[in-house]
Copies of this chain bind each other. A is one copy, B any other.
Amino acid sequence: MKILPEPNRSASQTSTVVQLRNWRRGISADKVIGLVPTMGALHEGHRSLIRRAREQCDLVALTIFVNPTQFAPDEDFSTYPRTHEQDLEIARAENVDLVYLANTEELYPAGFATLIDLPALSQRLCGISRPHFFAGVSLIVLKLFHLFEPDKTYFGEKDYQQLVIIEQMTRDLDLDVEIVRCPIVREPDGLALSSRNVNLSAAAREDAQVLSRSLFLARQRWQAGEVIATHLREEALRSYGTEVDLDYLEVLDRDSLEPLVYIQPERGAVICVAANVGGVRLIDNIVLEPH
């Protein structure tokens, strides 16, 4: 497994970006390259992305970068978990070909001036409390697409709004990369895996179950034939007491993220939820598959 920047080469003359480009240029055009962009603190959710990439691609590249442009000053950039040693072990165990430990100074040098945004999709849901988040995500993903020129790239459905934004950006900008959606991985009690879960206290960990529980209940009613989105939303909201600070819970169109009143059975929907649980921001969602 190749690691960039190379750990044993102190103060290399060549920038990591140049090393990366050289690596990329050495790969023949008939090889399928899969990219798994992450912020590290890898868990079983990330492993599922890597495994899917391993199945579908000749070469698998993993990036680990806690991207500062997607955090606001009052957010958890500094306390976001960082577990590089463990991440590298996981990458090795999963047969990753290249790990790119990206570096803020190289990716955002002095004078950096480019912004990218999809305001119609980024300024709703999580974007209301995190107005710069998706612009930061779009920017780093676009940069990584340019650096790796992957054939396929792997994102978890857990970050549903992010996934929709990256898919839309990819179409809009004519990027020749396939976005592979990977299903949410959950704890036995339903909690969606997240690197932030390690920051939950024992009590908050208990309280956090309400997110997935509420979504499962709403999905049961959808499966039983309910097509009025507001009824499903009310059903889901009934689960919440005062133990979590709910940010939003919405029944949305799966592509446009527009809130729905009536769900076309042949189209389905997605229910997205975000809440602050004991000081940790958690999100979850469930897709209501078409009948």
Contacts and interface: CB of A to CB of B under 8 A. Distances in A.
Contacts of A172: 112-114, 143
A120 B17 CA distance: 25
A118 interface: yes
Nearest to A118: B113
B147 A114 contact: no
A interface, size bucket: 20 to 34
A111 B142 contact: no
A169 interface: yes
A115 B116 contact: yes
Given A143-B174, A173-B146, A176-B146, A119 B115 contact: yes
A56 interface: no
A221 interface: no
A38 interface: no
A233 to B, nearest CB: 25
Contacts of A147: 174
B176 A21 contact: yes
A230 interface: no
Contacts of A11: none
A117 interface: yes
Contacts of A169: 113-114
A95 to B, nearest CB: 26
Given A114-B116, A143-B174, 6 more contacts: A17-B174, A107-B174, A113-B168, A114-B118, A115-B117, A147-B174
16 contacts: A29-B29, A107-B174, A113-B118, A113-B119, A113-B120, A113-B121, A113-B168, A114-B173, A115-B119, A116-B116, A142-B173, A143-B174, A146-B173, A146-B175, A146-B176, A149-B176
